[in-house]
Structures are given as structure tokens and as C-alpha cells.
Amino acid sequence: MAYSETEKLNQILIGAALSNAVCTVTELGIPDLITAGTPVSAESLAQSIGAHQRSLYRIMRYLASYGIFKETPNAQFDHTALSEALRADAEGSYRAGARTWFQLFPTFGTLHHSIMTGEAGFIKEYGKPIFEFLGENPAMAPLFDAAMTSFHGYETQAMLDAYDFSGIKVLADIGGGIGSLIGSVLQSYPEMKGILFELGHVLGRAEESLKSQGLGDRCKFIEGNFFESVVSGADAYIFRHIIHDWTDEQSVQILGNCRKVIPADGKLLLVECVIPTGNERSISKDFDIVMMIAPGGIERTEQEFKDLFSKSGFQLTSVTSTSTMVSIIEGTPV
Ligand SMILES: C[S@@+](CC[C@H](N)C(=O)[O-])C[C@H]1O[C@@H](n2cnc3c(N)ncnc32)[C@H](O)[C@@H]1O
């Protein structure tokens, strides 16, 4: 059915329900209770989790109308590609991403604060910046790490396809999370060595993950805070979804610390969305709002990256787009 312009507006106005519904059914474990090709009734799903049957049916029907699950003619629910990606065992599972937003959903209510003050709404809601909050919440932090792999893991192969990392002897992944990026690059370039630089509370999980892939002896794990210093000893420095977490001033501080240790012929690689100019619909503009309210950062245009680079002692040498939302923004020291 085609919607009128005002009905479209209605749909947008109550659109928070969609995000909340996906995150909630994932938190409840519904995607894992359905095996593709074997539909399950809402009654049976409700019994499995002790839920109110009619309410669960209505949520499932709503999600199915967006292509997340599908309802069969006899009122059972089966998977679609989108709902299957929410299963714990899906390749590149989005479960952790959905569960993280289930936990942090109140952040979306803080947009007014962010617009009026320029401060991350997260701070108003939770009393401290997100990375401090995670460091003090041992239950939440591993979920957030896994969510980063949910949201960004699929970008790695696209980066490897688009950008030639050959010639790099030691690659330092700064704020590398649990190592999904550095692990894949090291697997693809067997001569390369890696350094994973992270906050102390994340590093243990990164080390465990790389060791389980047999890469423990090709990667050093260095604890640090990139606002104080960046590890030396690499000829290329990669920052994936780091700079978008921070304001321009903070970003210049981080990149300035990288500038102090990068060799004269070294490479700086940022992996980020590049916001297109004009009215074009782009998921980078959605992530930009998430950056505004959660860490207090910014998704940037190419010109904004050029400006950041020049303020930090780098020049932007290339922007390589990938088949995903991210590009590889390369710079060299000046
Ligand atoms: C948005 S996540 C990106 C993780 C990873 N690069 C990826 O692409 O999946 C940001 C990362 O920065 C790390 N981080 C935040 N503040 C940091 C700091 N001051 N020093 C070092 N790492 C930090 C966090 O622990 C987190 O893993």
C-alpha cells in the first residue's frame, strides 16, 4: 500500500518503535528459537520465554511487516535474511549489536541535550562518557566489544579487497577492540606483524581472541590511552571507527600523538564513513547522530578529514572507497 506524505511522516514519528522492537526480541532470544525453514507459532515462542502471547504475536507481526521475520499463512514465524542475522550463530551476527542498543536505548532520548549543548547525551543519562562507563561495567564491556564486531566486522573483507596493505611490515591497530581487524589483516598478509593498542580492560579479550586464531606470536598487545601517547614501532597506523568517536580537538590530540611516533615514510590509515555532500541518503548520516549522542563524536566529510589531517601534521593522500559504508583515508606525515 502506498503511503501519503503525511502517513510517511507518521511512520517516521513513531519509528523508534521499530528499533526498540528489534532490539527487544533479540534480547529475549527469539531469533535463536527459530530455525530457518521450521516456522514456530507465537504461542510456542511465548511459552519458551514466559512472555504474554498476544503481545509477542503483535511485535512479531509488526517486525514481519518490515521484513524482519516472516509470518506464514498459518500464523507461524520463520526467518528472513534480516532476522537470521540476529541469531547468535549467524556469520557476522548482529545479536550483540541489538543487545547493546537494548541496554543503551535511553541514549536515544538525549538528543535534545546533545543539540542544545553539543555534549554527548550519554553523559547526561549515565553520568560519564561511554568509554569510562564501559571500563567500569564488566558485564557491559564484552557485549560492547562484540557489538563493534557486529556493526563493523563485515567491513574488514571489503577493506582488504579495496586497499593494498602490501609493503607494511608492522601495522599498529589503535583502539583495535578485540582484534577482528588486525587478525584478518595478519591472516591475509603472512609476513606482516601487528600491534594492538587498547585500553587495559579490552586488551585481555583481544589477546585471547588472536591467540585462538594462532596469531598470538605475530601481534604485540600494548595497553595505553591514545590521549596520552600512541605506541611506537610500526610503519603504518590504522584507526578504524576511532576518530568518529571524538570532537575535532580530541581527534587532533590523538592524531598528534600518532604524528610523534610515526616514521617519516609511515602511513596513517583511518577507516571511517565519509559523509557525502548534499541531500543524499547515506547510512553515514544515521551513524553521525549515534556519534553525537553516544561518544560525542562526528562522522566527517572529506574536507573535514583534510582539515583534521593538516592540523595534526599529516596530509591526506588518498580516499579509497569500499563496497561497504567505510572508506580508507590515507595520510602521510608532513
Ligand atoms: C568504536 S570502537 C572501535 C573498535 C575497533 N577499532 C573496530 O573497528 O571494531 C572504539 C575503541 O576505542 C577504544 N578506546 C576508547 N578510548 C580509548 C583510549 N583513550 N585509548 C585507547 N583506546 C581507546 C575502545 O576501547 C574501543 O575498543
Distance 176 CA to ligand 1 centre (A): 6
Interatomic CA distance for residues 146 and 2, integer angstroms: 38
- Tens-digit pLDDT profile for residues 107-161: 999 999 999 999 999 999 999 999 999 999 999 999 999 999 999 989 999 999 9
**CATH code for the domain defined by 5-90:** 1.10.10.10
2 pLDDT exceeds 90? Answer: no
- Strand order of the β-sheet with 236-240 is 219-223, 193-198, 170-174, 236-240, 267-273, 326-333, 314-321
- Return the best residue to mutate from 242, 254, 272, 288 for the ligand 1 pocket (most ligand atoms within 8 A of CB): 242
Asked if 258 contacts 230 with a C-beta cutoff of 8 angstroms, the reply is yes
Distance 45 CA to ligand 1 centre (A): 37
Fold for domain 152-333?
Rossmann fold (3.40.50)
DSSP code for 94: -
Give the list of residues 6+ apart from residue 52 with CB closer than 8 angstroms, or none.
46
What pLDDT score was predicted for residue 107? 96
Q: Which residues of 199-226 are buried (b: 16+ CB within 10 A; e: fewer)?
A: bebbbebbbebbeeeebeebbbbbebeb
Q: Which residues line ligand 1 (CB under 6 A)?
A: 131, 148, 152, 175-177, 181, 198-199, 202, 225-227, 240-242, 245
What pLDDT score was predicted for residue 1? 73
Distance 242 CA to ligand 1 centre (A): 6
C-alpha cell at 164: 593494498
- Tens-digit pLDDT profile for residues 191-232: 999 999 999 999 999 999 999 999 999 999 999 999 999 999
- Tens-digit pLDDT profile for residues 54-77: 999 999 999 999 999 999 999 999
Give the residue, by CA position, lying nearest to ligand 1 atom 9: 148
C-alpha cell at 140: 557491559
Give the residue, by CA position, lying nearest to ligand 1 atom 24: 175
- Return the best residue to mutate from 100, 151, 152, 198 for the ligand 1 pocket (most ligand atoms within 8 A of CB): 198
What pLDDT score was predicted for residue 256? 98
Q: 263 falls in which pLDDT band (50, 70, 90)?
A: very high
Q: The pTM is what? A: 0.94
Is 113 a residue of the active site? Answer: no
Interatomic CA distance for residues 172 and 194, integer angstroms: 6
**168, 332, 333: which is closest to 235 by C-alpha?**
168
Domain boundaries, the chain: 5-90, 102-148, 152-333
Interatomic CA distance for residues 331 and 329, integer angstroms: 7
- Return the best residue to mutate from 128, 131, 288, 328 for the ligand 1 pocket (most ligand atoms within 8 A of CB): 131
Distance 89 CA to ligand 1 centre (A): 25
Give the residue, by CA position, lying nearest to ligand 1 atom 3: 241
Give the list of residues 6+ apart from residue 241 with CB closer than 8 angstroms, or none.
148, 152, 271, 272
21 pLDDT exceeds 80? Answer: yes
Distance 110 CA to ligand 1 centre (A): 22
